[in-house]
Chains A and B, each alone.
Chain A
Amino acid sequence: MPTPAPPSDTAAPARLDVVNLTASYHGRPAVADVDLAIEPRQVTALIGPSGSGKSTLLRCLNGLHLTVPGASVTGSVLLDDADIYAKDSNPVEIRQRVGMVFQRPTPFPTMSVRDNVLAGLHLGRRLGRGPHDDLAEQALTKAGLWPEVKDRLKAPGGSLSGGQQQRLCIARALAVDPEILLMDEPCSHLDPISTLTIEDLIREIKETYTVVIVTHNMQQAARVADTTAFLTMPAVGEPGRLVEVGPTERIFSTPRQQTTEDYISGKIG
């Protein structure tokens, strides 16, 4: 067994550059012509109305989009200047470097809390058999879950509360030591207190990771994001487009585009 890459606090966060990206399902573009630079050690929020392609764009950033039947991509996503859609790029390696947390907490139902945290390392064959409690503790500590579950490591992952399950999923994503963490509306199924816990967590992990978060909650974008990108579609059924991107404060105080202002002030969406 190769020696595991231990989760470290010195992992170099990567940058992402989206260049002229169009993502389609069965030939119908869901989001089109996106150019976006995602800076390391920052939180970038993608906001916009339903159907504007925020989630699709996010799923293009780690190649997960292409695992859906009928999905296709044109343009490129540069992960530290290497196109993840190049012919010779290895999708499994990309997904190890760009982790993801989903809308619904998805603990693996047949696994314990500890096995859930270590799942990516075990199944990715980056770790031999063994308890590896130290790695599990590090990841759970980063996700702020360690004090709550340290006596329940052997309990099924599904036995935790919703908010705990979501932090378990964050711990699981961090355990494989990604450079970038994508979050697809990670709080939309959680209560306000769990939401605040996770927002605190996002502010903490951006010290060491690059974070991209999709949210339909503008207050959340304002609370956690350094940079905000606004997407919308000209009409229902047409692909979403990137309208405006900039520092979060400026986007919310003095948007340059009329549609951005309309959305932020609640006139559309």
Chain B
Amino acid sequence: MTARMPASPVRRGLSHRLAVNAVMTVVLALATAGVVALLVWILAYVAGQGLKYLGPVFLTQTPPGEPSQAGGGFANGIVGSVIIVGIATGLSVPAGIAAAIHLVEYRGRLARVCSFLTDVLIGLPSIVTGAFVYALWVAHFGFSGLAGAVALALIMLPLIIRATEEVLRLVPNELREASLALGVSRARTVMSIVLPTARSGIITGAMLAVARAMGETAPLLLTALGNDLFLEANPTRRMSTLSLQIFNNAITGFATAQARAWAGTLTLIIIVLVLSVGARLLSRRGIARSAR
């Protein structure tokens, strides 16, 4: 067809297309390079500032009593972050996965309400979540790491529901029907076919929620409060977290405290990175094992 058409408009069409193609390729490459450069810049800046002070002392000591003094570290914040986010993960991941299963696999009566509330919760500013937990819990029982964990769990929950829901919807319906047709019950189909197929996506979603919780500061100010005096590992008392310590040290204006804040920021990034990579490796090993 095209060969029989007059040559000139076809030629012009082709050269035009090639030109647009070349321009758009350059534009997209520049946009990508810009985004990557921005991310590398942030990482490099944090690493440059953080590495000035990050070391064994920083990782094993608590902050000095007077913020203007040099030395000390965020050991209590690291321990606090791990404990609080750990509890929040333990609360939110099972509940979130269960809710997503209800939404996708059973389409229960609550599904529409749950879906709507999930959207509302995702859009909720985290300070509101903190105030909510403050009013309901802290006002009665006092500040505690546990209250902080509940606040973080409320922030993680909608993220995990959404992420899990998306991945479950990606599991082909044919697999569910194939399993049902073998005389497998619906519950076993979900547990043994659907969830394992979606496993790596669910883990990725949970890790994003963990990373988000690691960095949350506002709700913790109203719940865990912080504790810079000594290392506290009991979540029923007020606790420090990395994010709280970064906040408290960064706003002092003392160069010594800001150095600690930078080192804390780098530590936070490294913890999240290690957790993400570790979860990836675990999920990959899981698939390899079942394939063997």
Q: Which residues of A contact B (CB under 8 A)?
A: 62, 64, 67, 69, 92-97, 99-100, 102, 104, 106, 108-112, 115, 119-120, 122-125, 154-156, 169, 172-173, 176
Contacts and interface: CB of A to CB of B under 8 A. Distances in A.
Contact of B181 (A69, A110, A115, A173): A173
State the majority secondary structure of interface residues on B.
Answer: helix
Contacts of B178: 100, 102, 106, 108, 169, 172
B139 to A, nearest CB: 44
A161 to B, nearest CB: 17
Contacts of B199: 110
Nearest to A116: B178
Given A102-B177, A106-B172, A124 B290 contact: no
A64 B291 contact: no
B76 to A, nearest CB: 42
Contacts of A106: 172, 174-175, 177-178
B174 A95 contact: no
A-B pairs with lowest CB-CB distance, top 3: A96-B183, A120-B182, A100-B181
B185 interface: yes
Given A64-B181, A106-B178, A123 B188 contact: yes
Interface residues of B, number: 25
A46 to B, nearest CB: 17
Nearest to B198: A110
26 contacts: A64-B177, A64-B180, A95-B180, A95-B182, A95-B184, A96-B183, A100-B177, A102-B177, A102-B181, A106-B178, A108-B179, A108-B197, A110-B199, A110-B287, A111-B290, A111-B291, A112-B292, A119-B182, A119-B192, A120-B183, A123-B182, A123-B184, A123-B193, A124-B183, A173-B182, A176-B182
Given A96-B183, A123-B184, A108 B175 contact: yes
A133 to B, nearest CB: 14
Contacts, number: 90
B290 A92 contact: no
A43 to B, nearest CB: 19
Interface in B176-223: 177-186, 188-189, 192-193, 196-197, 199
